[in-house]
Structure 1
Amino acid sequence: MTSYIEPLTQESTPSIIADKLRKAIGAGELKPGAQLGEADLARKLGVSRGPLREGMQRLTQEGLLVPIRNRGLFVIDMTVDEIRDMYLAREAIERTAARLVVAGDYEAAGDELLAVVRKMSEAEGDPAAVGEIDIAFHELLVHLAASPRLTRIHKTLITETRMCIHALAATYSGAEARVDEHRHIAEAIRAGDHLQADDLLAAHMEDAIARLTSR
């Protein structure tokens, strides 16, 4: 298993540290509700506490870490209500991204998205791989919109999505259905059909919420 809590291989900066911690949270290495110990993290990352605190402050501002008075910093715990709220924000960003993509070279964008869908189909039988390719599809969709702000906000939401998938893997299955959902979205974008892509993305988010919140 890849560890994100390890010595940095380049000059340490708060942004690099924040990215390391963000990836560790998304991968489940730093689990929901876990307390972050400064001394231990500084040792594992090979950095001093000053830039570590700055990096952790960035994640606090993003909402991935929460301070508890007289106790310290903790990784957020994604409740059912927070999962729904996170997907509401993702839906707003990704439907906007799809609208922007369709307003541009939608055929080329659709081809790129369909290439990701093919990789997802080839990975069926490997839930972890399918999950990562699923996320890659949505990251690409927002990237294709060429909006730095949408991409920046989406990065935090994708970390929260990874947290949910790792914590609730048993309820987030159905690889074949997920492949079909993504293929239909990509095909609608390639056809330049914004309304169809919009409807499919909304339904896709509702389906994801249902999978992740079922008990």
Structure 2
Amino acid sequence: MTTKVDGQTPGAEEPGRRRNASGQRKRAGTTRHRVLTPLVQESTPAIIARKLHDAIANGDFPPGSQLTESGLAADLGVSRGPLREAMQRLTAEGLLVSHRNRGLFVVSMEEDDIRDMYVARTAVERAAVEQVIAHGDPAAVDALGEAVEAMREFIDEPNSVGMAEADMRFHQTLVEHAESQRLSRLHETILVETRMCLRAMRGTYSSGKERIDEHQALVDAIAAGDAGRADELMIAHMADGLRRLIGDGPEAGDLAAAGS
């Protein structure tokens, strides 16, 4: 025997009510905005590679220094299998170089290496500027403006670690807002070398204001949608950085062709 409440069987719904509820769920599903991103589990080699990236970027392993499997395996508490895979990744990225019968070494970052890195970086960041302007997203301009404000905190310390980190965060923000996975991967590949160069560049700035104004001018051009002006500023900015590292000789040649 089934008991009815108010003339209806418990749990039963009228067809119209079921359809309405289903429609409400569908509508709710289509309008819901994702707040959290899916979790991504890293493999052991990926974690090791990231730790090595950080150590090289922070100067714990200076340019030209040798890395040994036995020492790293002991430091990290891992077996040599995943360590080798991680080191192979860094070798493929160009951060480690293999010398026959000698072992693996951190890239030397000689003048040719530095110039080559700036050619690649200029190409990536010019493309990023173009994409950010094409998207016309006000959030990108806001994020870049916030990155410049973070640099202003170190206006009286133009050659400090804080300024160098804020400077690089600006460029990371730029590439992130290009919304291109491939540009981001390319930029990440040269990210550690960029950090190494920025550390070397620390003592070359006499004015924090000038350093900040360069970045603000680029933000203003992007905000105005002036692709030509933004491109010119990016080329000049990269050329200035290269000159600060290797001087005004022939190796500091024209970067305008990068990314054209």
Q: 1:57 to 1:75 in 2, by over 3 A?
A: same
Residue ranges of structure 2 left out of the alignment (5+ in a row): 1-40, 249-260
Q: 2:235 aligns with which of 186, 190, 202?
A: 202
**What letter matches 1:185 in structure 2?**
L
Aligned partner of 2:15 in structure 1 is: none
Deviation at 1:161, TM superposition (A): 1.3
Structure 1 segment 10-29 matched on structure 2, within 5 A: 13-29=44-60
TM-score, normalised with respect to structure 1: 0.90
Structure 1 runs not aligned, ≥5 long = 1-9
- Residue 95 of structure 2 is matched in structure 1 by 64
TM-score (ref. length: structure 2): 0.75
Q: Which residue is 1:135 aligned to?
A: 168
Distance 1:167 1:116 in 2: 21
| Alpha-carbon RMSD | 1.8
Cα shift at 1:11: 7.6
Question: What is the aligned counterpart of 1:170 among 185, 188, 203?
Answer: 203
- Structure scoring higher RCO (CA < 8 A, sep ≥ 6) equals 1
TM-superposed deviation, 1:44: 1.2
Aligned amino acid, residue 48 of structure 1:
S
The ranges of structure 1 where at least 4 consecutive aligned residues each deviate by more than 4 angstroms after the TM superposition are: none
Query: What amino acid is the match of 1:36?
Result: L
- Counterpart secondary structure, 1:18: helix
Separation in 2, partners of 1:173, 1:38: 42
Aligned positions of 1:1-215 closer than 5 A: 13-126=44-157, 127-171=160-204, 174-214=207-247
Please tell me whether Structure 1 or Structure 2 has the larger radius of gyration of its CA atoms. Answer: 2
Aligned length: 206
Distance 1:97 1:79, change over 3 A: same
Distance 1:20 1:33, change over 3 A: same
For the residues of structure 2 that align with 1:186 and 1:63, how far apart are their CA atoms? Answer: 31
- Structure 1 residue 173 displacement after superposition: 5.6
Identity across matched positions, percent: 53
Higher helix share: 1
Alpha-carbon distance in structure 2 between the residues aligned to 1:181 and 1:79: 26
Worse overlay, 14-23 or 63-72: 14-23
Give the Cα separation in 2 of the matches to 1:63 and 1:148: 20
What's the offset of the Cα at 1:167? 3.8
